[in-house]
A and B are shown apart, each in its own frame.
Chain A
Amino acid sequence: MRETNIPLYIRYIVTAILLTSFLFIGFFITNSNILGRAHNTLIIQIGFYIILSVSLNMVAGYLGQLPLGHAGFMAVGAYSASLFWRLGILPSFSNIIVGLIISGITAAIFGIIIGVPALRLKGDYLSIITLGFGEIIRVVINNLDNITYGARGLLNIPRYSTFTLVYICVIITIMVIHLIMKSKHGRAIIAIRDNEIAARSCGVNVIYYKVFTFAVSAFFAGIAGALMAGNQGILVPNNFDFMTSVNILMIVVLGGMGSMFGSVISSIVLISLPVFLQPLNEYRMIIYSLLLIVVMIFKPTGLMGSYEFSLTYFLEKIGIKRREENV
């Protein structure tokens, strides 16, 4: 709803130029192997953690509920995409796309199945019930031995997760969630967070929007799971245990609940930090934890609070400065 004098098409063009240039820079860096294999993997890992945290942020930050079963949706997406990819019935490119869509849709269906009963509850009760569902999904996958190969692990998953694919998925995720949030649907979601009873008496269908948000969040978690599978080439159910959900939640809280920009920044920081602290050996987990504590003490709302990066605002700043120089 920000008012600006900059026409829409200029903002679109600037955004498109920036996004494509980032794509080329990233593509060049990952393909020319300047950073080495470990860091290339790290970049891809950051990518799907951005998708995970941004999608969790939609439920935790915008809708104001605290689910702890995000890894469950990720698992559903990862396994459904991997199983489809392994079949290899379609040529490579369409195989990737269809696999991703399947992973998102299956995860979203699970999101709806879990969301309908779970979202009747609020607060810590919701956290516990989603935690339970997340664990159920993991245990079921562990025991469906003839389909998922259980604890032995699902092997030979084609390694589709290149930088380009992950990058495009990240951009689509952020854009779709942003566009939803900046419409009447997004306003309804935030209204539910701020005051559910008031939202209801304004004619907002609370149950619909809660389940909808949950489903969208699960959809993207599923895609992130698929990207993770395509990155690792092997899946074991323990990839999706409770700690994974907690890690994602930690990223969201550290970045600032309700700030997508915060989720992106804190994904980058928290995922790359352990790698960069590697030279410190056993001290690295202490420093990592201390850092979290320090941030939470001095910035309890998270790194970014509820700040949202706005390119328009940035452009306006530059524009105004130029005008002053001219005068």
Chain B
Amino acid sequence: MSNIVIECKNLGIDFGGLTAVDNFNKSIKSSQISGLIGPNGAGKTTIFNLLTKVYKPTRGSILFNGNDTKNMSITSINKAGVARTFQNIRLFNKMTVLENVLVGLHNRTNCNLVSSILRLPTYFRSEKKAKEIALNLLEIFDMKDIYKENAGNLSYGTQRKLEITRALATSPKILLLDEPAAGMNPKETEDLMETIKKIQNDFKIAILLIEHDMKLVMGICSEITVLNYGKIIANGLPIEIQNNQKVIEAYLGKGEEIA
């Protein structure tokens, strides 16, 4: 199909003798929310790091929009359209909310060094445009009135939202969310679900999320992949995953045979 954004073929990575991920096959269509779940240490974040080129795969390949990403760097894969958030929030704490989003807009702000230093009209134009885009994004996520606040002073839920906004500012074709609901209370999780749905609706991009909160995963994902010890053990619709024997075993362990 032509609308596949990212495709992993037999992806695998070894750390020394340890195989962290093996034989990982998955393709994600545009404007689809998929979930990646699995017990701790299953290799979910490793897959994110592979997709964003933090790690180089030992085996297999990742195709982005049909092109091999073998020679891409973290920066160039982001320019191509892969954005991510982090398990432990990584914001620019001493910068304001607006500036955080503006850093996300870095590659969309066309202003070279010379025109920055000489304050040529290009500078003012590009800064004004970037600021407009940033404020628009912040308005979509109800953060416009706190744009002057320091990012480090925000509440946990808002920081998560800001991190997502910043990732969206890079105008990605796929957004990778690493445990967006971690440490959130049920109310915040519900808000987050709404936010993710809104992103999918408004921006028409693919979303891949790692999450332990089953209510969230089952609620919004159209396809779920379950990982255990670096291997895919199940892949399918939420309802199929819920009743999959292997998945239940991976999470809860195998039951004793009762006579």
Return the contact of A180 from the options B106, B117, B170 (Cβ within 8 A): B117
Whether a CB of chain B sits under 8 angstroms from the CB of A31 is: no
Asked if A201 and B74 make an inter-chain contact with CB atoms under 8 angstroms apart, the answer reads: yes
When A183-B111, A184-B130 are in contact, do A205 and B91 touch as well, CB less than 8 Å?
no
Asked if A179 and B119 make an inter-chain contact with CB atoms under 8 angstroms apart, the answer reads: yes
Q: Which of A176, A187, A198 is packed against the most chain B CB atoms within 10 Å? A: A198
Asked if A184 and B74 make an inter-chain contact with CB atoms under 8 angstroms apart, the answer reads: no
Q: Mark A181-206, 1 if CB is under 8 A from B, else 0.
A: 00111011011011101111111111
* Interface locus among B38-46, B76-84, B186-194: B76-84
Asked if B116 and A180 make an inter-chain contact with CB atoms under 8 angstroms apart, the answer reads: yes
Which residues of A in the span 192-241 have a Cβ within 8 Å of any Cβ on B? 193-195, 197-206
Whether a CB of chain A sits under 8 angstroms from the CB of B230 is: no
Asked if A184 and B109 make an inter-chain contact with CB atoms under 8 angstroms apart, the answer reads: yes
Give the A-B pair count, Cβ closer than 8 A. Answer: 91
Whether a CB of chain B sits under 8 angstroms from the CB of A306 is: yes
Cβ contacts under 8 Å, B216 to chain A: none
Asked if B99 and A1 make an inter-chain contact with CB atoms under 8 angstroms apart, the answer reads: yes
Expressed in whole angstroms, the Cα–Cα distance for A306 and B94 within the complex equals 10
Asked if A184 and B116 make an inter-chain contact with CB atoms under 8 angstroms apart, the answer reads: yes
Whether a CB of chain A sits under 8 angstroms from the CB of B214 is: no
- Interface residue count on the A side (C-beta < 8 Å): 25
Expressed in whole angstroms, the Cα–Cα distance for A200 and B54 within the complex equals 10
CB distance from A276 to the nearest CB of B (A): 35
Asked if B117 and A190 make an inter-chain contact with CB atoms under 8 angstroms apart, the answer reads: no
When A179-B116, A198-B92 are in contact, do A203 and B102 touch as well, CB less than 8 Å?
no
Cβ contacts under 8 Å, A179 to chain B: 116-117, 119
Q: Which residue of B lies closest to A197 (CB)?
A: B90
Asked if A195 and B106 make an inter-chain contact with CB atoms under 8 angstroms apart, the answer reads: no
Whether a CB of chain A sits under 8 angstroms from the CB of B93 is: yes
Return the contact of A191 from the options B83, B84, B92, B117 (Cβ within 8 A): B92
Q: Which residue of B lies closest to A176 (CB)?
A: B117
When A201-B83, A203-B170 are in contact, do A188 and B113 touch as well, CB less than 8 Å?
no
Asked if A187 and B116 make an inter-chain contact with CB atoms under 8 angstroms apart, the answer reads: no
Cβ contacts under 8 Å, A200 to chain B: 74-75, 78
Expressed in whole angstroms, the Cα–Cα distance for A38 and B232 within the complex equals 77
Cβ contacts under 8 Å, A183 to chain B: 111, 116-117, 123, 127
Which residues of B in the span 126-153 have a Cβ within 8 Å of any Cβ on A? 126-127, 130-131
Asked if B103 and A187 make an inter-chain contact with CB atoms under 8 angstroms apart, the answer reads: yes
Asked if A197 and B86 make an inter-chain contact with CB atoms under 8 angstroms apart, the answer reads: yes
Asked if B75 and A195 make an inter-chain contact with CB atoms under 8 angstroms apart, the answer reads: no
Expressed in whole angstroms, the Cα–Cα distance for A194 and B78 within the complex equals 19
Expressed in whole angstroms, the Cα–Cα distance for A206 and B107 within the complex equals 13
Whether a CB of chain A sits under 8 angstroms from the CB of B98 is: yes
Cβ contacts under 8 Å, B221 to chain A: none
Return the contact of A195 from the options B91, B111, B113, B117 (Cβ within 8 A): B91
Whether a CB of chain A sits under 8 angstroms from the CB of B166 is: yes
Expressed in whole angstroms, the Cα–Cα distance for A198 and B165 within the complex equals 13
Cβ contacts under 8 Å, B96 to chain A: 1
Asked if A188 and B94 make an inter-chain contact with CB atoms under 8 angstroms apart, the answer reads: no
CB distance from B125 to the nearest CB of A (A): 12
Asked if B92 and A195 make an inter-chain contact with CB atoms under 8 angstroms apart, the answer reads: yes
Asked if A185 and B113 make an inter-chain contact with CB atoms under 8 angstroms apart, the answer reads: yes
Asked if A201 and B84 make an inter-chain contact with CB atoms under 8 angstroms apart, the answer reads: yes
CB distance from B213 to the nearest CB of A (A): 23
Asked if A184 and B79 make an inter-chain contact with CB atoms under 8 angstroms apart, the answer reads: no
Asked if B111 and A184 make an inter-chain contact with CB atoms under 8 angstroms apart, the answer reads: yes
Q: Which residue of A lies closest to B115 (CB)?
A: A183
Return the contact of A202 from the options B106, B117, B119, B131 (Cβ within 8 A): B106
Whether a CB of chain A sits under 8 angstroms from the CB of B95 is: yes
Asked if B52 and A201 make an inter-chain contact with CB atoms under 8 angstroms apart, the answer reads: yes
Cβ contacts under 8 Å, B75 to chain A: 200, 203-206
Whether a CB of chain A sits under 8 angstroms from the CB of B104 is: yes
Cβ contacts under 8 Å, B166 to chain A: 202
Cβ contacts under 8 Å, B83 to chain A: 201
Q: Mark B50-77, 1 if CB is under 8 A from A, else 0.
A: 0010100000000000000000001100
Expressed in whole angstroms, the Cα–Cα distance for A183 and B109 within the complex equals 10
Q: Which residue of B lies closest to A188 (CB)?
A: B106
Asked if A195 and B90 make an inter-chain contact with CB atoms under 8 angstroms apart, the answer reads: yes
Return the contact of A187 from the options B106, B119, B167 (Cβ within 8 A): B106
Which residues of A in the span 159-184 have a Cβ within 8 Å of any Cβ on B? 176, 179-180, 183-184
Asked if B78 and A184 make an inter-chain contact with CB atoms under 8 angstroms apart, the answer reads: no
Asked if B119 and A198 make an inter-chain contact with CB atoms under 8 angstroms apart, the answer reads: no
Expressed in whole angstroms, the Cα–Cα distance for A197 and B96 within the complex equals 18
Asked if B93 and A203 make an inter-chain contact with CB atoms under 8 angstroms apart, the answer reads: no
When A188-B106, A198-B91, A199-B103 are in contact, do A180 and B78 touch as well, CB less than 8 Å?
no
Given contacts A184-B102, A197-B54, could you give 4 more A-B pairs where the C-beta distance is less than 8 Å? A194-B91, A198-B86, A202-B169, A205-B75
Q: Can you report 11 A-B residue pairs in the complex whose CB atoms are below 8 A from each other?
A: A179-B119, A180-B116, A183-B123, A184-B111, A184-B130, A188-B103, A191-B95, A200-B74, A203-B78, A203-B104, A204-B75
* A-binding residues in B (CB < 8 A): 52, 54, 74-75, 78-79, 83-84, 86, 90-96, 98-99, 102-107, 109, 111, 113, 116-117, 119, 123, 126-127, 130-131, 166-167, 169-170
Task: List the 6 closest A-B pairs by CB distance, nearest first.
Answer: A183-B116, A194-B92, A198-B90, A203-B78, A203-B107, A191-B103
